[in-house]
Amino acid sequence: MNPSGDAKDGFGNVPFARDEFTAECIDCHVNLDLAQIRGYGLAPKVERLLQLLALYRVRRLLDGDMRLRTACDLEPIERGAVTATRPNGFVLPSIDELRMELRASVEECRDLMTATTFAFEDELKSAKGEAKRKGRKGGSEADVDDSDEGDADGE
């Protein structure tokens, strides 16, 4: 179609109909695996920071713009009505409460947050590519290794 031209002659953008389907109810289930967080072997204050970050993300999802797809605007019936099965009776804190706790937790863990800079200055080589080139340049069949296995040095 040519969008430039007179609409009565068949030009322009033609609107089209579309079918829309709506669910009667959509449930949002979120699982926070506390056993996995504990399994990292971190200090209790770091575990708490990870838990707070997860809860903050859930609260941001529920309180924020939930337009996950075109023409799909989700709105919680009651933002405060988050039901937890375990621990029973758990109430998801408000975004302001979580933000305050999160800031305090980040401050408490600040000394544990370090950045390490590393520079790799050696030549990058592909072990598989080297083996194939050797095989094409007259090397013996023993020089060619098509397996994906190898050590970190590529040997």
Domain ranges in the chain are 25-112
Residue 27 or residue 55, greater confidence = 55
pTM, two decimals, is 0.60
pLDDT tens sequence across 133-150: 565 554 444 444 444 544
Query: CA 122 → CA 3, 8, 50, 51, 151, distances in Å?
Result: 56, 68, 36, 40, 17
Determine what percent of the chain is predicted with pLDDT higher than 70.
Answer: 74
Q: What is the arithmetic mean of pLDDT over 115-132?
A: 79
Confidence of residue 153 (pLDDT cuts 50, 70, 90): very low
Which residue type sits at 73? D
Instruction: Check if the beta carbon of residue 55 is closer than 8 Å to that of residue 98.
Output: yes
Whole-angstrom Cα distance, residue 75 to residue 100? Answer: 25
Element (H, E) at 128: helix 127-136
User: Is the pLDDT assigned to residue 58 strictly greater than 50?
Assistant: yes
Biggest distance spanned by C-alpha atoms of the chain: 75
User: Is the pLDDT assigned to residue 38 strictly greater than 90?
Assistant: yes
With H, G, I as helix, E, B as strand and everything else as coil, classify residue 69.
strand
In the chain, count H helices and then E strands.
Answer: 4, 2
